[in-house]
């Protein structure tokens, strides 16, 4: 079976005295949902950016959907082609605020964006329809023709996820997608990622720094510390004691929001009926 993501011996240093990634090896199967857990500075963003082919490591290799993203410190010659199958969701949404939501979403169809201005005109009617459908799937089709900047953070993040749907991504990498969102929006975004993962069998790797969120939405956790994988296994098996063992004092950062009294606020919410319906039909 081809892995959705395969990382072998990936290392990266930005400075001579410190490794941001230290011999990272992991595989993600198609249809898996994995939380990438770790304190600030542990290497989560760096790892996701390498998998996405934004940057080349110093050593090691990365294969996504059977195609090399990079090998031995060099990006693959056809990395653009590989990137097309990878949806990337950013903490700060990465939408162009002055452009309509639908335009931002349709960008997912383009391998390369020639020009932002007047972009909507380059899309065919059927493409615009599929963009609207993706927005309906994430529950914000009513906002399609508003400027992206007029949406709430949670809505903008859902638009960013709609962009990966239009892109027909087989792999979604989400780098702290809920770090800028309120608890209610966080729930919706996590539930949406899980829904897409389940119904479309898209592999999802989502970096988080809250253990409780990881455990609720992701069956598997890969935990990083100082650029090394220190745990890779079922999230159900992660206990606070184990985290303190793995992370020492940094464990507090990961466990901070996991106090029992907060439990109700992060209980998974069923995705909107609309989402279920559309995804089931897809
Ligand atoms: P996380 O996302 O888990 O907070 P990062 O991947 O952003 O961690 O960072 C891991 C380490 O790499 C940190 O020490 C950070 O300072 C360093 N780092 C990340 N990106 C760069 C960069 N572009 N230049 C220099 N150092 C970087
Ligand atoms: Mg980060």
CATH classification of the domain holding 186? 3.40.50.300
Determine the pLDDT at residue 281.
Answer: 36
Determine the pLDDT at residue 268.
Answer: 43
Q: Report the residue among 22, 43, 214 best suited for mutation to probe ligand 1: largest number of ligand atoms under 8 A from its CB.
A: 43
The 8-class DSSP code of residue 26 comes to E
Angle between helices 273-281 and 183-200 (to 10 degrees): 20
pLDDT tens figures, 52-67: 999 999 999 999 999 9
The answer to whether the CB of 89 falls within 8 A of the CB of 147 is: no
Beta bridge partners of 132: none
* Tokens found for residue 255: 């466990």
Check if 51 has its Cβ closer than 6 Å to any atom of ligand 1. no
Count structural domains, the chain.
Answer: 1
pTM: 0.88
Determine the pLDDT at residue 252.
Answer: 86
The DSSP secondary structure of 51-120, one letter per residue, reads HTTSS--SEEEEEETTEEEEETTEE-TTHHHHHTTEEEE-TT----TTSBHHHHHHGGG-SS---STTGG
Sheet containing strand 5-15, edge to edge, reads 18-28, 5-15, 59-64, 67-71, 74-75
Distance CA(182)–CA(9), nearest Å, equals 37
Q: Note down the domain range covering 23.
A: 5-280
Determine the pLDDT at residue 121.
Answer: 61
Determine the pLDDT at residue 109.
Answer: 78
Distance CA(224)–CA(23), nearest Å, equals 11
Ligand nearest to the CA of residue 253, numbered in listed order:
1
Q: Taking CA 174 as the corner, what is the angle to CA 244 and CA 282, rounded to the nearest 5 degrees? A: 130
Check if 44 has its Cβ closer than 6 Å to any atom of ligand 1. yes
Low-confidence ranges of the chain (pLDDT < 70): 111-121, 257-282
Residue 55 CA: nearest ligand 1 atom is: 23
Determine the pLDDT at residue 172.
Answer: 98
226 alpha carbon – ligand 1 mean position (Å): 10
Ligand nearest to the CA of residue 37, numbered in listed order:
1
Q: Ligand 1: which residue has its CA nearest to atom 22?
A: 14
Residue 48 CA: nearest ligand 1 atom is: 6
Check if 225 has its Cβ closer than 6 Å to any atom of ligand 1. no
Cα dihedral sign for 181, 173, 97, 125?
negative
């Amino acid at each position: 079976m081809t892995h959705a993501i395969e990382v072998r011996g990936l290392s990266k240093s930005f400075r001579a005295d410190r490794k941001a990634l230290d011999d990272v090896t992991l595989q993600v199967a198609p249809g898996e949902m994995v939380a990438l857990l770790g304190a600030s500075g542990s290497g989560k963003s760096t790892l996701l950016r390498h998998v996405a082919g934004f940057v080349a490591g110093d050593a090691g290799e990365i294969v996504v959907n059977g195609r090399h993203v990079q090998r031995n410190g060099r990006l693959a010659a056809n990395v653009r082609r590989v990137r097309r199958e990878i949806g990337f969701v950013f903490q700060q949404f990465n939408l162009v605020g002055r452009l309509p939501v639908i335009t931002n979403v349709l960008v997912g169809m383009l391998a390369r964006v020639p020009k932002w201005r007047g972009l909507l005109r380059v899309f065919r009617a059927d493409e615009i329809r599929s963009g609207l459908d993706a927005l309906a799937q994430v529950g914000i089709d009513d906002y399609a023709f508003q400027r992206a900047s007029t949406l709430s953070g949670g809505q903008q993040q859902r638009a960013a996820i709609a962009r990966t749907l239009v892109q027909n991504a087989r792999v979604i990498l989400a780098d702290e997608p809920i770090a800028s969102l309120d608890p209610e929006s966080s729930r919706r975004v996590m539930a949406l990622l899980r829904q897409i993962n389940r119904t479309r069998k898209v592999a999802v790797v989502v970096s988080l720094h809250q253990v409780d969120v990881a455990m609720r939405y992701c069956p598997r956790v890969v935990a990083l510390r100082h650029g090394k994988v220190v745990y890779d296994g079922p999230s159900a098996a992660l206990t606070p004691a184990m985290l303190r063992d793995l992370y020492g004092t940094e464990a507090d950062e990961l466990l901070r929001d996991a106090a029992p009294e907060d439990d109700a606020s992060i209980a998974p919410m069923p995705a909107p009926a609309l989402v279920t319906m559309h995804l089931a039909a897809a």
